[in-house]
Structure 1
Amino acid sequence: MPHTPASHDPSTPPAGGPQRRTVLLAGLGSAALAAAGLTLGSAGSAAAASPAAIPADGWQGYLQGPSGRTVRPVRVQRTTGDVTAADALLAPGGGVTTLKRPQPATPPRWPAGTTATASSSHAPNNGNDGNPRTYDAANAIDGSTDTFWNDDTIGAYPDVLTITTPSAVTLPGITLLSNVDGFPTAFTVETWDGGAWHTAATVTGNTAVRRAVAFDNDVSTTSVRITVTADESTGKGDFTRVNEVYPAVLAADDIPRVVIDFGKVVVGYPHVTFASASANNPGVRLAFSETLQYLSDRSDFTRSDQSGAPGGGTDQFAVPAGGADWQDTKGYQSGTKVYADGLHGFRYLQISLDALPGDAPAAQPYGEVAIDAVWLDFTAYVGTADTYRGWFLCSDDDLNRYWYGSAYTNELVTDTFRATDIDPRGAATAGLEGKLVLHDGAKRDRDPYVGDLAVSGRTLYLTHDDAAAAARNVLADLADHQRGDGWIPPASINGYTLPLFDYPLWWVTCSWDYVLYTGDLDYAAHYYPQLVKVLDSWYPSVTDSDGLLSKGLNGTSGYGDYAFLGRTGRVTYYNANYVQALNDAASMARSLGKGADADRWTTRARTVANAINAYLWDAAAGAYLDSGSGPARHAQDGNSIAITAGVADATRAASALAHLDATTVRPYGNAFMDNDTIFGDASQRVYAFTSYPELVARFETGRADSALDQIRRTYGWMDAHDPGITAWEGIGPDGSLYEGSYTSMAHGWSTGVVPALTNELLGIQPTSPGFATWTVRPHPGSVAWARGQAPSPHGPVQADWQQGADGTFTLTVGAPHGTTGTVAVPTGGRAVTVHVDRNLAWNGVKAKAYQARSEAGYIVLDVITPGTHLVQVRPAE
């Protein structure tokens, strides 16, 4: 039976018993056969068994993508109000689902002249339409549920909202309507008697966005004070947000709602077929969320939140009496009323019979609608067994699940660039319109960022290299918008002006990754001048006298980075990234026959690396400082990339990783800082983006099991929690969504488990453009066996290995014509013999063939020719 993680309850880890046993049996491929004394033919010659002889079964059951563009919900999560036959939404043609609602009473208003003040209010900001959005206290009594008071204390309590009437009013209580992003969980309500405040009610443990608070007795008062002492985002840096305070105890609303679950995060244009409706233009509101936690009468995120469009956080439709086949597309249904955002990334969809007050009479919040079907027009890359040109499988069922969950995450962000459904903050651009791109997230920001490509690009090349143009289009577009001084923008947002300090370095590295995996030397040649300009003009302009990049020079003090961190001066992450980019640029230059440039950049990389070690190594902590100025802290990004870029020697690498082990390990991954001096709870925040280079550093320094442990904590946490399967943008304290409902739960920059397992655990990597040369160097750790393939322009490079309890290690490598490679097999620290195609290559002491040599726990074999080769490692007698 195929393994289908999408069907499990995300609140509990998926069961793995029977499936795990099935996968172990399926994993007995060529390596296991060889260990049993069986062969696949006369390996070793170009005419021998083809690489396809390595079995390609067992992995298909882990695939998460839909089989086509039409995606339907899998279950009804819940209903409220007058809803009949909700399950009909799951079976087209199986009847209709009916929502009914009588005309609701108008909520009471505060007397004219009533005012509201607050202990603080968030500053106004502008929507994409240029109109200011305000968050002051008056929004809590303006009668509109579309506006709200937003405090500005960032999680600090108490937050106080005070409502004052021009004359005394008699209140039986109040009703508080809050926002899902910050509803109070603990608050007191006090009333003023003319001389003192009196507690009228105390609420704790609140879980309702709309909370009626009854007083013990009617109270005559001229002022009500609401003091919030905790909200649902306590400790996460969010805000208290109150949409309305009503001067009455309102009964629970009677809005009919049905919540349907698509089983996993999906992305595209929702469709609803309405069979019929009452004649009064009943309104339907659609709210979307990637998690149940943030599903309410508002979407967890919608582009109208950033554009200022009057959607109220939901997508609206007024249903005509004759019914309609409605596709949710961006725009208004009637003049400037009844707005919808169009495309959404979500798992859960709430359909409500309701309408915004401002949409009357085009849409009314009552009546009756009959729904025949709901589905999604899936817009992203459809990954099926036929489209996976790279795959992975191993003896650990959990690792398999994480690999394919992240591969699916990356499919969700591989989509066509359309101005109608990308980030509304100035990201639309003619240069990308209609082209395949790698967005950063499925629901937001939906703009291609080059830093994200550092991970999502590799994931793409290792799964669906037929879509590699998605990376090229982004890299080329950003290069085409290079600034005159050499700086390259991070994305199209804000008309290509968002100032980030680190992302031009990622453009260099991502360009080399693209050429390395695809062999597209035309791209390399065409954009080589931009590479020269960014490295030889802009970064030298922000380099200090010791050869280190220093943020603040040349007007860069206001520049951000991937997390908009308040870092300044000499930062290890920027400089280690610089070393990496210089070495990648040197590789690009050599591939184009530009040796002088390569030598110059290699020399500069050594200079920067030496300066990092001289000025940014903290001997007391045994790790690299995050910054050479300010409080001492040590970051995951800088320490990890210092190792992977070759800045750290073996001693420093071991020390830095030991420091991260001692200070950053959390149940849900490794935190990106070792203390909170940069911002509160930084030491509790996990980014899979910066965790990826740490995984690589651990694998490549012989710490495979610690890398696997980190993978299991990071990706295991995301897999086991709502929405399940996909990789989150970030994880916050106690494993929370690090930015609340705004957090993207399907983010391409978090898919590093794919290249980590394929490149490092399985061991397949390109070493020259287009896999013309390659290496297979497994880092097996405690994993019993692994197999898979990486696509290349020449055909797949394949590996299939198994380690035995007796110290044997057997590897089958399949190489396509037109390529040669190097194989490195682990020795386990023992003296071993190595046979290639049953011929002795290493006798335990010296080489007998393939220029075999012993290097750092491996026997390395050169010039492996096309075809299928069997490599056997045995303890020396």
Structure 2
Amino acid sequence: MTDEVKKAPGPNRRTVLEVGFSGAVVAAAGLPLAAAGPAAAAGPPVSGHLPATRSWHRYVQGPSGRTVRPMRIVRSDGDVTRPEALLTPGGRVTVLRRAQPPAAPRWPEGTTVEASSTHAGNNGNDGRPRTYEAGNAVDGDLSTFWNDDTERDFPDSLTLTTPEEQELSGLTVVSSTDGVPTDFTVAVWTDSAWRTVATVTGNTAVQRAVRFDAPVSTARVRVTVTAAQDLGRGVFTRINEVWPQAVDPVVAPSVTIDFGKVVVGYPKVDFAWASDNHPGVRLAFSETLQYLTDRSDFTRADQAGGAGQGTDQYAVPADGASWTDRKGYGSDGDKVYADGLHGFRYLKITLDALPSDAPAVQPWGTVAVDAVSLDFTAYVGTPDSYRGWFLCSDEELNRYWYGASYTNELVVDTFRKDDVDPRNAFSASLDGKLVLHDGPKRDRDPYVGDLAVSARTLYLTHDEVAEAARNVLADLAEHQRDDGWIPPASINNYTLPLFDYPLWWVTCSWDHLLYTGDRDHAGRYYPQLVKVLDTWYPSVTDDAGLLSKGLNGTAGYGDYAFLGRTGRVTYYNANYVQALGDAARIAVHLGRAGDAQRWQERARKVAQAINTHLWDESVGAYLDSATGSVRHAQDGNAIAITSGVADSERAAAALAHLDRTTKRRYGNAFMDNDTLFGGASQRVYAFTSYPELVARFETGLADSAIDQIKRTYGWMDSHDPGITQWERIGPDGSLYEDAYTSMAHGWSTGVLPTLTHQLLGAKPTSPGYATWDVRPHPGSVNWAQGELPTPQGPLGVEWTRKDTTFTLTVRAPRGTLGSVALPTDGHRVTVHSGGRTLWKNGSATTPRVRPEPGYVTVSGLGPGTHRFTLVRES
């Protein structure tokens, strides 16, 4: 975190971003959320003015400072004394002890091994070739292994042949933590046939002792694997050694600690002392207990051939040390590797060492630990740092809003070479700059699609660091390809081919102008805007005026989920309409009327073509694609509504279809069937749920939007790791990619702008909040209040609904002009303000008051406090 981030921002840096998929329906890029639930949170606001209450502070999740300590001990195993001492530095110490193990049993000289399949070799991080042949299983070196090449195509077998018969009463299978055979059999060759002598199922142990019912004499042994553990990196077997005896493992002493929520930064361990044999510790990290094993759920080294084999290593000196986990090897050249920064909730510290790290470190001895902490690197969101806040009568919605804010704080961090995705994501042009990563764990690279949500969340909470979004937008623009295509991120040296992300760059550029008022930035990168819309996207447009993936060599291009969609896809084209509309707004505010008119006309024609070629009248929804199997997707249907492609009848029909076909207890799935891939109709993306929530609020379905929010965000909030919001949700509410899944992802925080802009109802309508609109969508919520940061100061809003009365108070900053819309719910109403009657008997009694469907609108409101009371007539 740079020093600039830590400084208290001055009032001239106030900026706001609103989350929403902008378009004709959502005028200034706003997402709807409905508040629900009978539970009252913190009491209703004081009538007549925005309350001075700070009761929202209790929902803030960020740490109080950069040094973060664990909250509890989850468990300890093996010989561990006083594990709880890790929680209280400076007092008693936690001691881990492990005896020196005996030498491992060996097969006789001349033993040979064959395998049914073998994975091809490759080079490790050090550039040295690695082999995975069967002989590694009997070479006495625990750092080498046989790796099958079947992925999910089991069975796989490993056959050992000795020079002469051996009497065996059992054997031991030692595997790597990311290749544990879960189901396998052991057979021996006797009487000219194979005979099964042991069957193992449900194994999770790295060292598994297998005892036979009776000793056998044989010269051939076969281990056949029928299933292996899946940790999200593929399903394969990695057997390091097979020993000719059943050797029970000595439990390695370990302590598992819980930081209470996902955190990010550099772990630090204070060692008091150790035995003089260089004992090692291995650190494993995980966002969930489910995937905390003897290795981390994910390390960046996993993306590039993990030198640490899934854990971070340290050799403890005899006189102790204060060790901060930084990326790289220890003092012994290419041994004792640590991966550095981690995003995690749980940390497991084990007295152990990799066999390949000997003699620099040993897996036995004694280690005394004084304390464990974390150097928190992301944005520290405290109550004093919040520039915008939200509170309503529903306890759950308040938790989700601040959970989203904390999730987003975790991804606001400095771009550093050692901490980003190792797949060629480092960029000197971003080095040292504040950015919005996609997640704290992975990939730790700024993707513009993620920015479409996370930047808006940032602008509504901590707008003083708006440069985190601006830096990413500028950098991607500066890496625009000659043909106009804009890269999605720095990964793969800015070459990752995505079809939709240049459109999100356009929308994010409008968002930045809208919420910050930064015309200089918009003007500087306007040529890139013109080039991507007028050069690249026309090159992938067919004769119907629709984007068609496959044209101009784009068949292999992906999208936000790397989906195998081709041809005319509703999502791409609705997104195109949205981007053209956003570009036209930028053009208007930069005085480029001709460009604005051209893009508006193109948007109109694309929208017409979508309705002509992609609407499925038989079900009342937009097709996912005009090519291949018939299916209907959340992304295309939702953005078709929010971008104005769909009229009111089509919008209602499409949302009804999604309700019928995609509703799950953990959210709404992003496909209505499984024709794209297996389980698609059970997978939930908060990223694409966001525009559906907008669509539901903006079409008068506030209660269904609230229900969807509570199913989606309630599921994530109530399951490990809690609080933070997941990248995606898999079938039955699972982690969709097992241990690899990111459980804190900025693109999933759309609930925050939804609650602020749709439930509370406030959003900007022109750059820098020069104009604003307050239009509540209360649903079943009884009251709501909050502030939005603007360049001129906070825009404060408070409303309360009780019986037949709805009261609304707005405090507008200087230099702004706005309007309010009071919900009538279809009833005849009277509206009062400042002792005057503004609306009665279906008519306005003063200028600038007019009816709209479901609302009475009052416009032309300048700076100051404005109070309104709406009374439903009997």
| Corresponding residue number in structure 1 for 2:389 | 391
Change beyond 3 A, Cα 1:775–1:147:
farther
Confirm or deny: 8 A CA contact 2:786 2:798 kept in the other structure.
yes
RMSD: 2.3
Change beyond 3 A, Cα 1:124–1:736:
farther
Change beyond 3 A, Cα 1:573–1:107:
farther
| Corresponding residue number in structure 2 for 1:67 | 64
Q: CA deviation at 1:134?
A: 6.5
Q: CA deviation at 1:575?
A: 0.7
| Corresponding residue number in structure 2 for 1:101 | 98
Secondary structure of the structure 1 residue equivalent to 2:419: coil
| Corresponding residue number in structure 2 for 1:471 | 469
1:665 & 1:854 partners in 2: Cα distance?
Answer: 35
Q: Percent identity?
A: 67
1:182 & 1:497 partners in 2: Cα distance?
Answer: 32
Q: CA deviation at 1:179?
A: 5.3
Change beyond 3 A, Cα 1:760–1:270:
same
The reply to whether residue 811 of structure 1 matches residue 827 of structure 2 is no
The reply to whether residue 244 of structure 1 matches residue 260 of structure 2 is no
Q: CA deviation at 1:137?
A: 6.0
| Corresponding residue number in structure 2 for 1:508 | 506
Confirm or deny: 8 A CA contact 1:481 1:488 kept in the other structure.
yes
**Residue of structure 1 aligned with 2:318, choices 302, 317, 321:** 321
| Corresponding residue number in structure 1 for 2:757 | 759
Residues 222-237 of structure 1 aligned to structure 2 (within 5 Å): 222-229=219-226, 233=230
Confirm or deny: 8 A CA contact 1:176 1:242 kept in the other structure.
no
Change beyond 3 A, Cα 1:407–1:245:
same
1:735 & 1:142 partners in 2: Cα distance?
Answer: 43
| Corresponding residue number in structure 2 for 1:219 | 216
Residues 179-578 of structure 1 aligned to structure 2 (within 5 Å): 183-193=180-190, 195-229=192-226, 233=230, 238-247=234-243, 248-334=245-331, 335-578=333-576
TM-score (norm 2): 0.91
| Corresponding residue number in structure 1 for 2:16 | none
Change beyond 3 A, Cα 1:25–1:674:
closer
| Corresponding residue number in structure 2 for 1:732 | 730
Secondary structure of the structure 1 residue equivalent to 2:508: helix
Secondary structure of the structure 2 residue equivalent to 1:557: coil
1:243 & 1:694 partners in 2: Cα distance?
Answer: 47
| Corresponding residue number in structure 1 for 2:26 | none
Confirm or deny: 8 A CA contact 2:41 2:394 kept in the other structure.
no
Deviation digits for residues 745-766 of structure 1 (CA, Å, limit 9, x no counterpart): 1111111111111111111111
Change beyond 3 A, Cα 1:140–1:731:
farther
Q: Higher RCO, 1 or 2 (CA under 8 Å, sep at least 6)? A: 2
Deviation digits for residues 476-520 of structure 1 (CA, Å, limit 9, x no counterpart): 000010011100001111111111111101100011111111111
Deviation digits for residues 580-614 of structure 1 (CA, Å, limit 9, x no counterpart): 10000001111111111111101111111111111
**Residue of structure 1 aligned with 2:45, choices 8, 29, 38:** 29
Deviation digits for residues 784-814 of structure 1 (CA, Å, limit 9, x no counterpart): 111111111111112111222x332211111
The reply to whether residue 871 of structure 1 matches residue 862 of structure 2 is no
Confirm or deny: 8 A CA contact 1:146 1:312 kept in the other structure.
no
| Corresponding residue number in structure 2 for 1:57 | 54
Deviation digits for residues 135-170 of structure 1 (CA, Å, limit 9, x no counterpart): 6766655655556666666656x4333333244444
Confirm or deny: 8 A CA contact 1:56 1:788 kept in the other structure.
no
Secondary structure of the structure 2 residue equivalent to 1:24: coil
Q: How many pairs does the alignment contain?
A: 834
1:869 & 1:135 partners in 2: Cα distance?
Answer: 73
**Bigger mean CA offset, 101-110 vs 182-191:** 182-191
Change beyond 3 A, Cα 1:180–1:364:
closer
Q: CA deviation at 1:358?
A: 1.4
Q: Which amino acid aligns with 2:466?
A: A
2:130 & 2:666 partners in 1: Cα distance?
Answer: 36
| Corresponding residue number in structure 2 for 1:802 | 800
Q: Which amino acid aligns with 1:163?
A: T
| Corresponding residue number in structure 1 for 2:848 | 851
Change beyond 3 A, Cα 1:147–1:593:
farther
Q: CA deviation at 1:457?
A: 0.6
2:776 & 2:133 partners in 1: Cα distance?
Answer: 58
The reply to whether residue 163 of structure 1 matches residue 149 of structure 2 is no
| Corresponding residue number in structure 2 for 1:823 | 820
Change beyond 3 A, Cα 1:534–1:387:
same
Change beyond 3 A, Cα 1:380–1:102:
same
Deviation digits for residues 33-81 of structure 1 (CA, Å, limit 9, x no counterpart): 2xxxxx44xxxxxxxxxxxx44342110011100000001111111111
| Corresponding residue number in structure 2 for 1:587 | 585
Q: CA deviation at 1:89?
A: 0.6
1:858 & 1:296 partners in 2: Cα distance?
Answer: 56
Q: Which amino acid aligns with 2:467?
A: A
TM-score (norm 1): 0.91
Q: CA deviation at 1:228?
A: 4.8
Q: CA deviation at 1:771?
A: 0.9
Change beyond 3 A, Cα 1:99–1:767:
same
2:145 & 2:558 partners in 1: Cα distance?
Answer: 30
Change beyond 3 A, Cα 1:803–1:514:
same
Q: CA deviation at 1:841?
A: 1.7
Secondary structure of the structure 1 residue equivalent to 2:258: strand
1:147 & 1:562 partners in 2: Cα distance?
Answer: 37
Change beyond 3 A, Cα 1:338–1:245:
closer
Q: Which amino acid aligns with 1:402?
A: Y
2:122 & 2:564 partners in 1: Cα distance?
Answer: 21
**Residue of structure 1 aligned with 2:624, choices 626, 646, 662:** 626
Change beyond 3 A, Cα 1:327–1:25:
closer
1:388 & 1:597 partners in 2: Cα distance?
Answer: 38
Deviation digits for residues 323-346 of structure 1 (CA, Å, limit 9, x no counterpart): 111111111112111111111111
Change beyond 3 A, Cα 1:648–1:507:
same
| Corresponding residue number in structure 2 for 1:607 | 605
Confirm or deny: 8 A CA contact 1:635 1:672 kept in the other structure.
yes
**Bigger mean CA offset, 762-771 vs 239-248:** 239-248
Confirm or deny: 8 A CA contact 2:411 2:437 kept in the other structure.
yes
Q: Which amino acid aligns with 1:173?
A: G
Unaligned runs of 5+ in 2: 1-36
Change beyond 3 A, Cα 1:265–1:388:
same
Q: CA deviation at 1:676?
A: 1.3
Deviation digits for residues 421-470 of structure 1 (CA, Å, limit 9, x no counterpart): 11111111111111110000101110100000011011101110011110
Q: CA deviation at 1:729?
A: 0.9
Q: CA deviation at 1:181?
A: 5.3
Change beyond 3 A, Cα 1:231–1:648:
farther
| Corresponding residue number in structure 2 for 1:694 | 692
Confirm or deny: 8 A CA contact 1:508 1:585 kept in the other structure.
yes
| Corresponding residue number in structure 2 for 1:89 | 86
**Residue of structure 1 aligned with 2:858, choices 813, 836, 861:** 861
1:178 & 1:719 partners in 2: Cα distance?
Answer: 35
Residues 102-121 of structure 1 aligned to structure 2 (within 5 Å): 102-110=99-107, 112-118=110-116
Q: Which amino acid aligns with 1:811?
A: L
Change beyond 3 A, Cα 1:338–1:866:
same
Residues 36-51 of structure 1 aligned to structure 2 (within 5 Å): 39-40=48-49
Q: CA deviation at 1:106?
A: 3.6
Confirm or deny: 8 A CA contact 1:148 1:241 kept in the other structure.
no
Q: CA deviation at 1:625?
A: 1.1
